[in-house]
Amino acid sequence: MTRFVDVSNMVRWTAGRGPETIISEMMQYLEDDFRRWESFDKTPRVASHTPFGVIELMPTSDQETYGFKYVNGHPSNPARGFQTVTAFGVLSDVHNGYPTFLAEMTVLTALRTAATSGMVAKKLARPDARIMAMIGTGTQSEFQALAFRAALGINSVRIWDTDPAAMEKFVRNMAPLGFEITIAGSAAHAVEGADVVTTCTADKANATILTADQVSPGVHINAIGGDCPGKTELDAAILGLGDVFVEYDPQTRIEGEIQQMSADFPVTEFWQVLAGHAPGRTSRDQITIFDSVGFAIEDFSALRYLRDAVEGSEFFEEIDLVANPDDPKDLFGLVRELSPIGS
């Protein structure tokens, strides 16, 4: 049997355990997996692009467990009543290839993207960072705010979105959790005096959410929205102002902000910082840029964490996903047993 966490269990478990606690705990799983980066199979995700958006498969394996996520990205979806991003994912045993764990990953992706941003910011942002600007207050935004509070203690958020209703929704969700929120009148206004800037907008375009003149010394930019060919958020000049950190270089060259730069533009894979092979932040005034697109190992860590966290709880069910004849060569026998032809 395969363990399955559906949407209802995922939501009940997240609400009960608390998203901020989950993000903190998930950061540890992410760090553990990033530290053993070299032991994973890695490949840029397999993407099917259409004028509507993209559908992607994100596989990886540590030779004991295989995982993949199915995820879509459709920036025009909210206007039609659908979400921009939805997902589900699987873990399997490498020794026999059987899927052991299946989970909804729309909620889990928001938690894992936030946990990844938090893990990276812990190393790259100034430890005394106190104010975050959030450009784009859609689906990911609340999870992002919780991650920065969990990672750095940031409680003060300046928000900007072109959709006023999205900003109202952010305030409604986050003010009761103790965040000090300022609604800005523009992206420039939001980033004024911010120590950390998160860009999480969705538009299938080379947008310029942030320009170079808006970036102050010492700031950490957490750029998560540009994650597809032809879909970026930062003025290319910003990338030359600081040091750029990525998840998996071959995938980010295709999908990240650095698709705007030459093929030899220098970047650092973040695992190298965690492993002590490369420097992270080296001075107070350094500008650090996390050019995040989301990588398969993060989904693997998130699934591994969820699988362990719900073990022995009421938040999963066993489903009959894999046909399992008594004689492994007699699959047909399963059908014959119930078939009127055989009787």
List residues with catalytic annotation.
227
Of residues 153 and 164, the one with the C-beta less far from ligand NAD: 164
Position 212, amino acid: A
Position 290, amino acid: F
Binding of residue 44 to ligand NAD (CB under 6 A): no
Binding of residue 256 to ligand NAD (CB under 6 A): no
What backbone torsions phi and psi does residue 175 show, to the nearest 5 degrees? -60, -40
Binding of residue 161 to ligand NAD (CB under 6 A): yes
- The residue within the footprint of ligand NAD, chosen from 190, 293, 302, 303 (CB under 6 A), is 293
Longest dimension (CA), the chain: 80
Q: Which range binds ligand NAD by CB under 6 A, 39-47, 155-163, 234-242, 307-315? A: 155-163
- The residue within the footprint of ligand NAD, chosen from 56, 227, 235, 257 (CB under 6 A), is 227
- The residue within the footprint of ligand NAD, chosen from 26, 85, 191, 302 (CB under 6 A), is 85
Q: How far is the CB of 51 from ligand NAD (least distance, A)?
A: 16
Of residues 147 and 310, the one with the C-beta less far from ligand NAD: 147
Q: Which range binds ligand NAD by CB under 6 A, 27-35, 90-98, 156-164, 272-280? A: 156-164
* Neighbouring residues of 79: CB distance < 8 A, sequence distance ≥ 6: none
Binding of residue 135 to ligand NAD (CB under 6 A): yes
Binding of residue 163 to ligand NAD (CB under 6 A): yes
Q: Tokens 């996520």 label which residue?
A: 69
Edge-to-edge strand ranges of the sheet holding 99-104: 46-50, 53-61, 65-73, 87-93, 99-104, 2-5, 317-319
Q: Which range binds ligand NAD by CB under 6 A, 134-142, 147-155, 279-287, 333-341? A: 134-142
Of residues 155 and 162, the one with the C-beta less far from ligand NAD: 162
Q: Tokens 């965690």 label which residue?
A: 274
Q: What angle do CA 95, 31, 314 make, to 5 degrees?
A: 65
CA gap 191, 71 in Å, rounded: 30
CA gap 194, 266 in Å, rounded: 26
Binding of residue 139 to ligand NAD (CB under 6 A): yes
Binding of residue 234 to ligand NAD (CB under 6 A): no
Position 338, amino acid: L
Binding of residue 289 to ligand NAD (CB under 6 A): no
Kindly compute the dihedral angle of the four CA atoms of residues 242, 186, 23, 55, in this order, to the nearest 10 degrees.
-90
Q: Which two tokens stand for residue 272?
A: 């190298």
CA gap 107, 11 in Å, rounded: 8
Q: Which range binds ligand NAD by CB under 6 A, 121-129, 221-229, 236-244, 275-283? A: 221-229
Binding of residue 84 to ligand NAD (CB under 6 A): yes
The three-state secondary structure class of 73 is strand
- The residue within the footprint of ligand NAD, chosen from 9, 60, 86, 140 (CB under 6 A), is 140
What is the DSSP secondary-structure string of 204-253? SSEEEEE-GGGPPTT-EEEE-S--BTTBEEE-HHHHTTSEEEES-HHHHH
**Per-residue contact track with ligand NAD, 170 to 199, x per CB under 6 A?**
------------------------------
Query: Site residues (CB under 6 A) for ligand NAD?
Result: 73, 78, 84-85, 109, 113, 135-140, 160-163, 166, 200-203, 207, 209, 224-225, 227, 292-294
